[in-house]
Amino acid sequence: MVAYTIRRILAMIPLIIAIATITFLLMHAVQGGPFDTDKPLPPATLENLKRRYGLDDPLPIQYVNYLTNLAKFDFGISIANNRDITDIIRERMRVSVQLGIATFLFATVFGLTLGILSSLNQNGPGDYAGVFIATIGAAMPSIVLAPLLTIVFAVKLGWFNVLSSDYGFTDWFRGDFSNWRQVVLPTVALGFLPMAFIARITRASMLEVLRQDYVRTARSKGLSEFVVVVRHAARNAMIPVLTVLGPIFAGLITGSLVIETLFAIPGLGREFVRSVLIRDYGLIMGVTVFYAVIIAFMNLVVDLLYGLADPRIRY
Amino acid sequence: MTKRYWRMLLSAAAIVAVAVAAVACGDDDDNGGTGGGGSAAPSGTMTIGATQFETWDPHFSDFAQDITHFVYVWRGLYHLDVNDKPQPAMADGAPQVSSDGKTYTIKLKKDLKWSDGQPLTAEDFVLGIQRTCNPDVAGHYQYILTNIVGCDDYYNAAQKSAAEKEELRKKVGVRAVDAQTLEVKLQEAQPTFPIILALWPTFPAPKHKLASVDAPWPGPLENVYNGPFMPAAYTEKASMELKPNPNWTGTKVGVEKVVLKYVDDAAVLNNAYRTGEVDATVANKPELDKLKTEFAKELQLYPATRTIGLEFNVTKSPVDKPEVRLALSQATDRATLVKVVFKDANTPTTSWVPPARNGLKGGEYDAILGFNPTKAKENLAKAGYPDGKGFPQLTLLLVDSQTNKLLGEFLQAEWKKHLGIDLKLEFVDSKTRSSRFNSSDFQLVTGGWQEDYPDPENWFLGLWETGGSINKTKTSIKALDDIIAKAKFNTNDEQRRQQYREAEKLLLQEANGIAPLWHTLAAFLVKPHISGMVENKRPGDTFVPGDWYIELWKTSKK
């Protein structure tokens, strides 16, 4: 397995070079550059700006420069605000990861619970309720859900904040819960869809497992229902769920444009989309490459977890 | 694995339980200010909905949201009052101008200090102006200093060696006669120069913080300040806290703390205003109808110095024909447009320069450009397209947005109805639109101008002269070129203003380059417990009312 892991990590290098190359080409193929401001800039200013950011070199040279710096883990400087891109990604990612982890926990805990309860009560009222919630979650995108939650729970009821610019839970470990009003709504708004998804998969998987012979055997030998469900059924029903958890986790920690914008959370999702809109070339490259690494790495982790979950899978 | 998995799940559930418990028993985080409401000591906290600045460097940036920040924390030699007249700030009285109008000598106030206690001297102002002229800083607003001797030579020397640049830097016509006296030499007597001395490109640069003119500009928490406030805390894209600058010697500040919350979306900000999370914010214009009833007394609407119209590339058929341009303008019912598309969040106009700037009442060009379907038809026929027959393809380039879709469809319907022509709409993203505009690769766009500094010249210089540095409509009128050249360095102020009124007439009589449609209204929400913002707004304030006078802001909220 160690050899397999090393092989996979080495395979990431050409992957990342390919992604960097494609992004670089696409980015420069798109019309409009970082200095195409609403108000046109005088030609002398444009020239000085291009020179300041190394954009006056021919594209192939810019490309080679970029890859050389990338090999040194140097992402360069953001054109928009002159800051080190590594710093920007680190700061933004800190927030997005917290939003992602909290949302992942929310989605997993509630999704599994909902799925298992539905499956145990198949075609009963509990099942319909669970399926109903899951369907709403799947049907209502966060761009609708987030303003709805804000209006009901923040504006009308006043329970939570509209702005969540201090989103995070690292202070909680120090006993400072002062930002709790900022944490609940974004987590729920972002987590509803993955929760619904997890619930649906869990329910389907549980229903299949509960009909298996060994579950009947377990019941017939007089085991308590709790033990049957938790130890025998749920354990095996988790394998398909585990398959989707990895990508869901990767998707959540890499930030969400919608939720970060609608709750004013300073995360990486918002920054990434903005970097494309304003053609901040360095930042586009930096975040894309960074995302590529994260997603490649998460896929590796999931593949390794399969081996742990299902002893029949060997590397 | 399974056991471990369930343990993980259990601990996750535990965290969720803790979160739920925290929700249930958390305390109110009301950020009520301390101290009494006495008028002498600053008191209270104000939270303002804001837009994140792009860069912190006044000698580099030209973004409106950046400038809003600069005037909170830095001040120039002069400062624009609510009527946009420059008043002494760091300067001790009006500048001494030589008889030829080309040399300005400015005395600084005594004992000026930066926020860190270091003396603020004329050298700092020299460095500030040199930074704006520095090709390696590449300041966006260098063009407003082109009249300073040597500034252009230095700025255009990007490719030269460091030694050559250093020589050119020394030749920039600005020097410290002594620690308290600054001298600026101009190529021509410039009537608007005192205004320039109130703008951010001439703000001082702390010499003790910058090793050279090329040194990077320190960030918010590392920099020093000479304005009424200074940053106390800052999280990019989240918020900035401003506290009073202990070494500020101007009007005493009124509040203890100003918090700026950086939010991209105006609708979100308005919800935060409803819950009291922000005390002042821009109003979300698409919601204006609702806000007018919901916040009848708190909604502030006033004309901003911004004009938008139909901009024509006068070298492209069919809008190279004056009759076609006039026909399009006359076939556009501006009053209905502003009502239907913008819900009256803008003011219909046919003028280029807003009334606040040209001393006119407005409506002077209604007879030429205003809505008149009969005249429009006549003009189109004169151009050779009776009832729109044989009219070539005309494409309107727009930034993709909900409002622009309405705008495009409105114009499409109007022109079909009154002129019988088919307008094609092309929606692109903002940078593509700017790129196409900047390379004059368009027939028709909606666009215009947001004033940089309060003078009619700012509505003409570079924009409309033949070959002007930002003339993208390719407008070229000999008489207009001549009158702008005359007005530029005319020291007779009344005559100069009259010349710009003439220039506007020359520009608009055949809708050369532009047929104005509306002046933008700025819309804000300000809580009743706040004073000093709306009262001190300048016509140019677009992001925050009264942002040039943060020291006069007050709150009565305890």
Closest by alpha carbon to B172, among B142, B207, B206, B203? Answer: B142
Using a CB–CB cutoff of 8 Å, tell me whether A91 touches chain B: yes
Q: Check residue B209 and give its pLDDT.
A: 96
Residues 229-288 of B with CB under 8 A from A: 235-239, 261-265, 267-268, 271-272, 274-275, 277-278
Quick one: three-class SS letters along B436-463? HHHCCCCCEEEEEEECCCCCHHHHCCCC
How much is the average pLDDT of A203-223?
89
Looking at the complex, report in whole angstroms how far the Cα of residue B489 sits from the nearest Cα belonging to chain A. 21
Residues 24-83 of A with CB under 8 A from B: 30-34, 36-45, 47-49, 51-52, 80-82
Secondary element (H or E) of residue B242? strand B239-244
Residue in A with minimal Cα distance to B30: A178
Residues 110-169 of A with CB under 8 A from B: 112, 147, 150-151, 154-155, 158, 161-163, 165-166, 169
Q: Check residue A226 and give its pLDDT.
A: 86
Q: Check residue A309 and give its pLDDT.
A: 66
What is the dihedral sign for C-alpha B223, B226, B230, B234?
negative
CB contact under 8 A, A264 and B434: no
Alpha-carbon gap, residue A209 to A229, rounded angstroms: 10
Size of interface A-B (CB pairs under 8 A): 176
Using a CB–CB cutoff of 8 Å, tell me whether B464 touches chain A: no
CB contact under 8 A, A166 and B238: yes
B215's CB contacts (< 8 A; 6+ apart) are none
> What percentage of chain A reaches a pLDDT higher than 70?
98
Q: Check residue A8 and give its pLDDT.
A: 87
Residues from chain A that touch B135, judged by Cβ atoms under 8 A, are 48, 51
Residues from chain B that touch A233, judged by Cβ atoms under 8 A, are none
Using a CB–CB cutoff of 8 Å, tell me whether A176 touches chain B: no
Which pair of structure tokens corresponds to residue A204? Answer: 């389907």
A58 has a pLDDT exceeding 70: yes
Closest by alpha carbon to A257, among A83, A96, A34? Answer: A96
Closest by alpha carbon to B313, among B448, B435, B507, B445? Answer: B445
Which pair of structure tokens corresponds to residue B40? Answer: 């002498």
Alpha-carbon gap, residue A287 to A185, rounded angstroms: 26
Alpha-carbon gap, residue B508 to B504, rounded angstroms: 6
CB contact under 8 A, B469 and A42: yes
Alpha-carbon gap, residue A100 to B457, rounded angstroms: 52
CB contact under 8 A, A264 and B268: yes
Closest by alpha carbon to B172, among B218, B125, B140, B217? Answer: B125
How much is the average pLDDT of A253-279?
90
- Helices A281-309 and A268-277 cross at an angle (nearest 10°) of 140
Residue in A with minimal Cα distance to B436: A32
CA-to-CA dists, residue A156 to A148, A151, A259, B272, B401, angstroms: 11, 6, 20, 12, 29
Residues from chain A that touch B440, judged by Cβ atoms under 8 A, are none
Which pair of structure tokens corresponds to residue B170? Answer: 């020394």
Looking at the complex, report in whole angstroms how far the Cα of residue B320 sits from the nearest Cα belonging to chain A. 22
End-to-end CA distance of chain B: 57
Residue in B with minimal Cα distance to A306: B1
Looking at the complex, report in whole angstroms how far the Cα of residue A199 sits from the nearest Cα belonging to chain B. 15
Cβ–Cβ under 8 Å, residues B318 and B391:
yes
CB contact under 8 A, B158 and A177: no
Q: DSSP for B539-553, please give it.
A: TT--SSTTGGGGGG-
Mind listing the pLDDT tens digit for each residue in A66-117? Answer: 889 888 888 888 888 888 999 999 999 999 999 999 999 999 999 999 999 8
Per-residue pLDDT in tens (0 to 9) along chain B, 558 residues: 344 444 444 444 444 444 444 333 333 333 333 333 345 688 899 999 999 999 999 999 988 899 999 999 999 999 999 989 999 999 999 999 999 999 999 999 999 999 999 999 999 999 999 999 999 999 999 999 999 999 999 999 999 999 999 999 999 999 999 999 999 999 999 999 999 999 999 999 999 999 999 999 999 999 999 999 999 999 999 999 999 999 999 999 999 999 999 998 999 999 999 999 999 999 998 889 899 999 999 999 988 899 999 999 999 999 999 999 999 999 999 999 999 999 888 999 999 999 888 888 889 999 999 999 999 999 999 999 999 999 999 999 999 998 999 999 999 999 999 999 999 999 999 999 999 999 999 999 999 999 999 999 999 999 999 999 899 999 999 999 999 999 999 999 999 999 999 999 999 999 999 999 999 999 999 999 999 999 999 887 888 889 999 999 999 986
Cβ–Cβ under 8 Å, residues B145 and B128:
no
Alpha-carbon gap, residue B195 to A20, rounded angstroms: 48
CA-to-CA dists, residue B233 to A23, B72, B145, B258, angstroms: 36, 14, 33, 11
The Cα diameter of chain B in Å comes to: 91
CA-to-CA dists, residue B436 to A45, B48, B499, B557, angstroms: 18, 35, 32, 49
Residue among B29, B143, B275 minimizing CB distance to A45: B143
CA angle A242, A245, A246 (to 5 degrees): 100
Mind listing the pLDDT tens digit for each residue in A139-196? Answer: 888 899 999 999 999 999 999 999 998 888 888 888 888 888 899 999 999 999 999 9
Q: What are residue B439's phi and psi, to 5 degrees? A: -100, 15
The interface predicted TM-score of the complex, written ipTM, equals 0.86
Cβ–Cβ under 8 Å, residues B168 and B116:
no
Per the prediction, chain A carries an average pLDDT of 89
Residue among A49, A108, A154 minimizing CB distance to B271: A154
Classify B234 as helix, strand or coil. Answer: strand
Q: Check residue A76 and give its pLDDT.
A: 87
C-alpha count within 13 angstroms, C-beta hemisphere, residue B463: 22
Alpha-carbon gap, residue B506 to B152, rounded angstroms: 30
Cβ–Cβ under 8 Å, residues A252 and A49:
no
Which pair of structure tokens corresponds to residue B423? Answer: 């307008």
What pTM value is reported for the model? Answer: 0.87
CA quadruple B292, B297, B298, B300: dihedral, nearest 10: 70
Which segment, A75-89, A241-255, A278-292, B191-205, is predicted with the most confidence on average?
B191-205
Which pair of structure tokens corresponds to residue A93? Answer: 């990612």
Q: Where are the beta strands (DSSP E) in B153-207?
A: 174-178, 181-185
CB contact under 8 A, B271 and A37: no
The phi-psi region of residue B60 (left if phi > 0; otherwise alpha if psi is between -120 and 50; otherwise beta) is alpha
Alpha-carbon gap, residue B66 to B54, rounded angstroms: 6
